[in-house]
Chain A
């Protein structure tokens, strides 16, 4: 019995060299990246600020948190949701045609390479840069935020849309052809039911992400809950910071739970 076990054990592949090489590569990378750790000037002032933020969160400015005016957290949350919602929608409208002309089962390979390169290029430019560019178009405010999120979302939405389109089951279309269906019927009964749930679930997911993204657009003056938070932070108004952070936390948390539920329902019925 023991002999048998030992012979099985000795058959286990020896991975020592592989592990050693991996660890050495990792160590080299870590050492070469260590300059990034420089520049820390942790002072007692830093501790004080950390403590102040924590006290701010536990004693938030309630008039700001529950106020219903234009500067209250409630209105800012509504504005942030609106920016994320419209941004996702506009992004989707641009992404749908873009993904159809980037799917390998619809257009030839060279076209795919070009369109994918464009999508990749759109995706790399940081959102704040788009924000600054759109402010020149729309003026500062939530409208600029909507357009920024729309452009920023294109990358991910079309990447996931392309995957869905490439997974289309062409057998269904062939059998509809055999019935003698018209093009419209083929799209209505063959394509839409296959793409619809996936597309919607992707958009819900992206909405969830855009909501987080929308919270930072305020930095460049593109609306949302970010701007008042930055102002409060740089003015050291910790109680206001606390109120906004609590609003933000509740918003992101609730939307995440709802979007998970919704996506589960869409995909699994």
Chain B
């Protein structure tokens, strides 16, 4: 930003005690300029138009309105896929979190001092994290066939990479004193890790895993869209058939389930911290 400060001179003030202080010229015009260019390009690329939005927005409310009142009797067909969705996200999150722990340990440069191992493991975590869950679910359906197993695999991959990344960053910030002291007394690295570092990271580890689980329940609801099982299958089907009252019931069931799970898990997380 040196050129910018050269172009617009800093303003200097003389204080009461004779000292001169200077204030750099504000960066606001430059930031605003870049921002407006960004908006202009985006509007041009996406075809965003406020006029269309306001003239057609009634269509949105029309669909939304047709979901009310939700067809309550449809719940008999909803609860089974909903339960399946929760089971999928629970299993996926659980195994993801379990597998993430050793990977996080290998990625943290204060516990594993081998630079090559650190980088390789981090690269794996990053690659897995970049693939959108829906795409990994789609690929999983090709490999494992349609059904909940593919969805579980997709959720597993996401949880694994998310918990892994959060956890290794946290491990790098822990207090290493006790660990080094135990190593100095002759304890094995594994033993020292379990007694000194694990208790430090455990609350964060559990709470990150629970957080991933919360998000996964909401996310698993759409995995059915690519045939990976769960409530998304019937959601997709009912939207296709335009049975919006049933769609309303499905959304209501997801809402209730998510509220229950989030409240429970938030309570648990508060208890952990």
Contacts and interface: CB of A to CB of B under 8 A. Distances in A.
Interface of A: 26, 29-30, 32-43, 46-47, 49-50, 53, 78-79, 81-83, 85-86, 89, 120-121, 123-129, 132-134, 136-138, 141-143, 145-147, 212, 215-216, 219, 223, 226, 229-230, 233, 245, 248-249, 252-253
Interface residues of B, number: 64
Contacts of B222: 126-129
Interface stretch (B71-79, B87-95, B109-117, B175-183): B87-95
Contacts of B131: 245, 248-249
Contacts of B221: 126
A42 B149 CA distance: 10
A42 B144 contact: yes
A143 B145 contact: no
Which residue, of A46, A126, A219, has the highest number of chain B Cβ atoms within 10 A? A126
Contact of B135 (A43, A145, A216): A216
B87 A33 contact: yes
B152 A37 contact: yes
A124 B42 CA distance: 27
Interface of B: 38-39, 41-43, 45-49, 52-53, 56-57, 59-60, 62-64, 84, 86-88, 90-91, 94, 126-127, 129-135, 138-139, 142-152, 218-219, 221-222, 225-226, 229, 232, 235, 239, 247, 251, 254-255, 258-259
Given A37-B91, A37-B152, A137-B53, A46 B45 contact: no
Contacts of A143: 46-49, 52
Contact of B45 (A34, A120, A142, A230): A142
A82 B48 CA distance: 10
Query: 10 closest pairs, A vs B, by CB?
Result: A39-B147, A82-B42, A41-B145, A33-B87, A142-B46, A40-B149, A36-B87, A46-B143, A82-B45, A126-B222
A24 to B, nearest CB: 15
Given A34-B91, A143-B52, A230-B138, 10 more contacts: A46-B143, A124-B258, A125-B251, A132-B239, A136-B63, A137-B56, A143-B47, A223-B46, A248-B131, A249-B130
Contacts of B91: 30, 33-34, 36-37
B45 A124 contact: no
A82 B41 contact: yes
A86 B46 contact: yes
Main secondary structure of the interface of A (DSSP, over half): helix
B126 A212 contact: no
Given A43-B145, A136-B60, A245-B131, A124 B251 contact: yes
B181 to A, nearest CB: 15
A132 B235 CA distance: 12
Contact of A85 (B38, B62, B94): B38
Given A89-B39, A229-B135, A36 B148 contact: yes
30 contacts: A26-B94, A30-B94, A33-B86, A34-B91, A35-B87, A36-B88, A36-B90, A40-B145, A49-B143, A50-B142, A81-B42, A82-B46, A86-B39, A86-B48, A120-B255, A121-B255, A124-B218, A125-B254, A126-B218, A129-B235, A129-B239, A133-B64, A136-B59, A136-B62, A137-B60, A138-B52, A141-B46, A142-B45, A142-B47, A146-B48
Contacts of A39: 144-150, 229
A154 B201 CA distance: 32
A38 B148 contact: yes
A79 B42 CA distance: 8
B123 to A, nearest CB: 10
Nearest to A229: B135
Given A40-B147, A83-B46, A124 B235 contact: no
B87 A85 contact: no
Contacts of A78: 45
Contact of B225 (A47, A86, A219): A219
A215 B132 contact: yes
Contact of B149 (A33, A36, A86, A126): A36
Given A34-B91, A129-B251, A248 B149 contact: no
Given A33-B91, A78-B45, A121-B255, A50 B148 contact: no
A46 B259 contact: no
Given A125-B251, A133-B60, A219-B225, A146 B145 contact: no
Which of A82, A212, A226 has most chain B Cβ within 10 Å? A82
A41 B144 contact: yes
